[in-house]
Structure 1
Amino acid sequence: MSQAAPASSADMATRLRAVARRCIEGAEDVTGVCEITSGASQSLWAFDAITPQGAVPLIVRSARLWSEQAQAGSAGMAAEAALLRLAAAGGVPVPALHGELRPEDGLGEGYVMERLEGETRGPRILRDAAFNAVRPKLAEQCGAIMARIHALPRAELPPLRTAFARDEALNWAQRLGTGGGKRPVLAWALRWLLAHAPEPQTHATLVHADFRNGNLMIDSEGVRGVLDWELAHLGDPMEDLGYFCMNAWRYGQIDQHAGGLGSREALFAGYSSVTGVPVDAARVHWWEVFGAFKWCISCDSMGQAFSSGLDPALERAAVGRRASESELELLHLLAPRP
């Protein structure tokens, strides 16, 4: 995997001009080139392609090689692009794909997609008055969208790794060991995860694996787009529901268990409205515990990337500090109940 590193916005604009002319009919130039740095694990640049009909708002997404461990678990840019196409055809709200990068573009592996209008920042979605009317509907809507993702035809999916509960627990434990992190709470959580891992489903389905408040573009009408498909794989669909319910994505609204947006019951109702099958709450709980375990390891990895100088971006340091939050959540989730 290769990645170029443009030295400036001007350098990036030169490269994006050629990309836009290939991907957007009638594109003559680009403007508004700006890097998006808000916690993204991959490289994101926003720009407008200028055409005779007006500006076309776009995003170019390409691989950022700040962590070999992170990239090892990534679906890959080609798979992400294929998933966006398939999801759109399956009724999942996603940005429209306009084209994929080529080696001669000098931007590494990636693709160009529509730049949606709306809000992705979880705290704003939960608190701003602009979302007051739609907020009560979002948990159920998210459940229905997850069900549509899980129903995408297996035969049409790009090559993806397959991992069920026990596989994923061991996979992320190995990442922690490789990274050198030593957190006793994670060792305790791993023992619980392995002892209570649900048996694999008969058929693996597509799992987004990072479906959460913060990876959704939302406007006053609801979810406009499901973003960040880099962790997608085949496995247990309950993984997405459990991950969505993590406390980390509630942004202070701790009593609203479904991403700070509503109740688990609303999320499950939205899911079942599409599948026609009740949700297995115990299975979802296991995946919620696993989500906190995975997120703690991810935070630890980003913190190490910053402290070692591998990635000096302040976003890595900011996320790295959140590892302790996940340790506390694991203690809460696994504490004996009277």
Structure 2
Amino acid sequence: MDRLQEPLAEVLAERYGPGVQVRGLNRGGGGASRVTCPFEAVTAAGEEHPLILRLASPGAVASSPLLHEAALMRAAGTAGVPSPEVIAAAGEDGPLGAEFVVMQRIEGETIPRRILRDPALADIRPRMAGQCGEVLAAIHRILAADVPDLDQTDQLESWRGILDAIGEPHPALEFALRWLDRNRPPAHRTAVVHGDFRNGNLIVGPDGIRAVLDWELAHLGDPLEDLGWLCVKAWRFGSELPVGGFGPYDQLIEAYEKAGGDEVDRVALRWWETFGVARWAIICVMQAQRHLTGGERSVELAALGRRVAENEWDLLQMLP
């Protein structure tokens, strides 16, 4: 991180003026393909601005460039989605020698189990499923023209191809993918889909959802994909409530429709939820492979491999 401080300060000088300093830059947590580094930009006048630097993880292949994520966050803010302000962004040929995004650091809770249990969030939890519906309606209002070159592929075919390429036998997943193919609902309209909207990618405070994070899986597709993913059992973190662990289906659907989202076909929503469980299982297989093949040695990635069986069980319970 030390080598990044001087070039990062030069980048931030365009926003905060000459003499800005980078303070407290440390590698923090992050997703499977991004590193999140919190720090403060301190101006020559002593003003502190809490920021986040995002970098690609070594050995990982992300679904979209960070520059694309920056464009998505800007477009999301325009559409009314709570989103961090993008301060700076550049590609591999930029001043940091690697693709990066610097964004506003928004205070709040991101750890799902704390969101579901923290007494400080007790008042907002019963309303969060509705807030998710409102935010998703805003996401699906993002103009595709504002974020060109978004991928538009058949999600079921794409993830089936990924599983086939791994070359491991997973009979339960293969059975579920066959059922999903034979019971596919009619297509809805095409919209910008976040692709990873769930408990864990939200910043939450006592006032509710303050920001939506991690746009790297965004693409064009059926808006119900986002609603179904939010309801996947893995994102309930032990709660019985189906929507992110904090609310019922009805609250999500009613708020989504009231906020301008399309009318929700509940059978189709169940299909997308089932697809989401299968997709998460395949992602767990992929992450375990990263560890086992030496792409990135990580106990976290190895542990995700252990979760494949949990998702296979969940799928078998969901299928009629």
TM range (shorter): over 0.9
What one-letter code is carried by the residue in structure 1 that aligns with 2:106? L
Q: Deviations over 1:267-317 (max 9, x none)?
A: 111101112653111111111111111111111111111122110133322
Partner of 1:275: helix, strand, or coil? coil
Query: Unpaired segments of 5 or more residues in structure 2?
Result: none
2:93 matched to 1:108?
A: no
Q: Return the offset for 1:232.
A: 0.4
Q: Deviations over 1:131-154 (max 9, x none)?
A: 101111100000110011101223
Question: What's the counterpart of residue 5 of structure 1?
Answer: none
Output the TM-score relative to the length of structure 2. Answer: 0.94
2:245 matched to 1:260?
A: yes
2:47 matched to 1:96?
A: no
Query: Unpaired segments of 5 or more residues in structure 1?
Result: 1-8
Q: Which segment is superposed worse, 104-113 or 172-181?
A: 104-113
Match of 1:58 among 46, 51, 54: 51
Q: How does 1:79-94 map to 2 (within 5 A)?
A: 79-94=68-83
1:44/1:61 contact within 8 Å kept: yes
- Distance of aligned partners of 1:320 and 1:23 in 2 relative to their CA distance in 1, 3 Å threshold: farther
- Distance of aligned partners of 1:48 and 1:276 in 2 relative to their CA distance in 1, 3 Å threshold: closer
Q: Deviations over 1:2-36 (max 9, x none)?
A: xxxxxxx3223334323322344455211111112
Q: How does 1:1-338 map to 2 (within 5 A)?
A: 9-26=1-18, 28-51=20-43, 52-68=45-61, 71=62, 74-102=63-91, 103-163=93-153, 167-201=154-188, 203-253=189-239, 255-275=240-260, 277-334=262-319, 336=320
Q: Return the offset for 1:174.
A: 1.0
* Separation in 2, partners of 1:22, 1:317: 42
Q: Deviations over 1:136-173 (max 9, x none)?
A: 1100000110011101223323210113xxx2111011
What one-letter code is carried by the residue in structure 1 that aligns with 2:87? H
- Distance of aligned partners of 1:148 and 1:86 in 2 relative to their CA distance in 1, 3 Å threshold: same
Partner of 2:67: helix, strand, or coil? helix
* Separation in 1, partners of 2:232, 2:284: 15
1:39/1:319 contact within 8 Å kept: no
Q: Deviations over 1:89-138 (max 9, x none)?
A: 11100111111125242342221111110011100000111110111110
Output the TM-score relative to the length of structure 1. Answer: 0.89
Q: Which segment is superposed worse, 102-111 or 176-185?
A: 102-111
* Separation in 2, partners of 1:209, 1:282: 20
* Separation in 2, partners of 1:315, 1:17: 32
Partner of 1:35: helix, strand, or coil? coil
Identity of aligned residues (%): 40
Moved >4 Å (runs of 4+) = none
Q: Return the offset for 1:87.
A: 0.8
Partner of 2:211: helix, strand, or coil? strand
